[in-house]
Amino acid sequence: MLAKSQAKLFFLIGTGAFSAIFLGLTVDTLAQVPVRSNESAMTAEVVHGKELWEQNNCMGCHTLLGEGAYYAPELTKVVDRRGKEWMKAFLADPNGMFPGQRRMVQYKFSPQEIDALIAFFDWIGKVDTNDFPPKPDLVVAAAPAAKSSGRMATAPAVYRSLCVACHSFEGQGGKVGPALDDLRGKFDEASLDRWLANPQAVKPGTAMPNLNLTPEARKELASWLLAGKGP
Ligand code: HEC
Ligand code: HEC
């Protein structure tokens, strides 16, 4: 049995020690926030993206850092998962990316607004979340194959981030559009460039979306797609 004075001492020392530990941990956490939240990368564009995120109630369907609604995919790591090029095309026209299959809202974002949203996602994706979310919550058909070999290994970055979502090459990729292994019978550099610049103009009603590719990207794609084994 503790005497009354011993019990008092026990209480005081115990409370004092644990309060000190608690305060120490609080100070330590607060000191880590600026580093872990990636605060220095929070540009005006990132802030604008966050405003768009709030104004358009994206959280009514999506989660970020686990917070929001569980109807649509968690978006904290969406830039890692999908890549910026893919996101640009998707946010401009979600249905174009998945003809007739998707429920993501078609917003009328300007290219600047899309860039701001992507900057915001890029920033939040770099927040140190102790590896949250634990693993990709989506099986991504569009993910570039881990081990690509042959010509797929030399595919331009824009091909890997955008075209693989819908097309296959050497057996890897999506099945929304036709395989692109051998286009040499159908296209030359000029006609492929016209197609990539504006599929609708070449074939009205086509399900291939206009991906707003830069002339450089089109040139790189065309020369890669048309190289290799011919007829
Ligand atoms: C009405 C619900 C809804 C709202 C609101 C919504 N989305 Fe979505 N979003 C979806 C669904 C559902 C998907 C999954 C793909 C699909 O089925 O279209 C998706 C997919 C996405 C993706 C691609 C994720 C991936 O990994 O494939 C991004 C990026 C995205 N949304 C961004 C946004 C942004 C930014 C906003 C707000 C401006 C927003 N969403 C608002 C329903 C919604
Ligand atoms: C959202 C899905 C989607 C994406 C992304 C996409 N395509 Fe397509 N693409 C299609 C569809 C669907 C067709 C078939 C269109 C038709 O025949 O009307 C097509 C057709 C084509 C064709 C014509 C093929 C043929 O045999 O006639 C080429 C070339 C092509 N796409 C290249 C590309 C390249 C390069 C990219 C990436 C920059 C790309 N596509 C991204 C859906 C897509």
d(CA 210, CA 37): 36
Please give all residues whose beta carbon lies within 6 A of any atom in ligand 1, as ranges: 52, 56-58, 60-62, 71-73, 75, 78, 81-82, 87, 90, 94, 102-105, 107, 117, 138
Output the pLDDT for position 204: 87
Alpha carbons within 13 A on the beta-carbon side of 2: 8
Tell me, yes or no, whether 25 lies in a domain: no
Alpha-helical runs (H) found in 75-126: 78-82, 84-92, 94-97, 111-125
Which residue has its alpha carbon closest to ligand 1 atom 43? Answer: 104
The answer on pLDDT for 139 being more than 80 is no
Tell me, yes or no, whether 19 lies in a domain: no
Which residue has its alpha carbon closest to ligand 1 atom 42? Answer: 104
Tell me, yes or no, whether 141 lies in a domain: no
Output the pLDDT for position 231: 45
Same domain, 222 and 175: yes
User: Average per-residue pLDDT in the chain?
Assistant: 87
pLDDT in tens, 68-107: 999 999 999 999 888 888 899 899 888 777 666 667 888 9
Same domain, 70 and 116: yes
The answer on pLDDT for 146 being more than 50 is no
Confidence band of 153 (pLDDT split at 50, 70, 90) = confident
Count of the separate structural domains present in the chain: 2
Q: Which amino acid is at 96?
A: G
pLDDT in tens, 24-68: 999 999 999 888 888 899 999 999 999 999 999 999 999 999 999
Same domain, 161 and 119: no
> Contact, 137 vs 74, CB < 8 A?
yes
Is the entire prediction scored with pTM above 0.75?
Answer: no
Distance of CA 107 to the CA centre of its chain: 17
Handedness of CA 157, 163, 169, 175 (dihedral sign): positive
Same domain, 56 and 112: yes
Domain that holds residue 192: 150-226
Same domain, 52 and 102: yes
The answer on pLDDT for 120 being more than 90 is yes
Same domain, 113 and 169: no
Tell me, yes or no, whether 17 lies in a domain: no
